[in-house]
Homo-oligomer: A and B are copies of this chain.
């Protein structure tokens, strides 16, 4: 572990309700993590037992050092034959240094085989303007795979918000041979939606190692939906609890 004199990043969350949106303020631009450099991470040690490496676009946006550090890890992971998944979402307003976001993401996507993202993310890296329909998602995914031959599968989480307190979550995928879409999970009383994207990615990574692609996506959706029921940004649910949703126990039956 590396220590720094810089503080951890902090965020302040105002939890919304009904038509009042949640609002978040980050204080992390000079956090210890943003000052990471390739020399600080011994990737050989870090990846010694690993089978899977996952990265997100936010890391690439933070600093040149973070980008370089991540890239070094991806190169080694690729050499070792690990599976690499990407959640390329970043917020364009937050790109912090003078590198072209599209270029940076393009470079790193070249190491990745699982793309976790939707129309916005595909349009961002391809410079296209696809719409949100299933047909356009399918077309966009195919073009993405054409342009990034390392990418094999695309998984897209879809949030439908009635308001801040009532969301629905479903997912769709193109895995190179099959388009599938899950049913909506109805989150009638949202507790906290922070961290739900990460819960989806984590669920997918677990699922793809256990199940076929469709069931993996169902597992990811259920994990994502469950995260909405916990305060805080961490999904506290166990595999058994997520599987309960897949097995149809969505009525919240009492556990004694």
Interface residues of A (CB under 8 A from B): 6-7, 10, 16-27, 29-30, 91, 161-166, 185-191, 193, 222, 225-226, 228-230, 237, 241, 244-245, 249-256
Contacts and interface: CB of A to CB of B under 8 A. Distances in A.
Given A18-B190, A18-B229, A162-B186, 10 more contacts: A19-B225, A19-B229, A20-B229, A21-B244, A21-B254, A24-B254, A30-B30, A91-B256, A163-B252, A164-B251
Given A20-B226, A165-B188, A228-B18, A193 B250 contact: no
B191 A252 contact: no
Nearest to A27: B7
Contacts of A162: 186, 188, 251
Nearest to A8: B27
A13 to B, nearest CB: 10
B23 A252 contact: no
Contacts of A25: 7
Given A27-B7, A163-B188, A188-B165, A20 B252 contact: yes
Contacts of A229: 16-20, 164
A245 to B, nearest CB: 6
A255 B23 contact: yes
A29 B27 contact: no
A230 B162 CA distance: 19
Contacts of A19: 185, 187, 222, 225-226, 229, 245, 249-252
Number of copies of chain A assembled together: 6
A35 to B, nearest CB: 11
A228 B163 CA distance: 14
A230 to B, nearest CB: 8
Nearest to A93: B256
Given A17-B189, A189-B189, A191-B17, A22 B252 contact: yes
B251 A161 contact: yes
B188 A166 contact: yes
Contacts of A164: 229, 251-252
Contacts of A222: 19
Among all A-B residue pairs, the 7 with the closest Cβ atoms: A164-B252, A17-B229, A23-B255, A161-B251, A7-B27, A20-B229, A30-B30
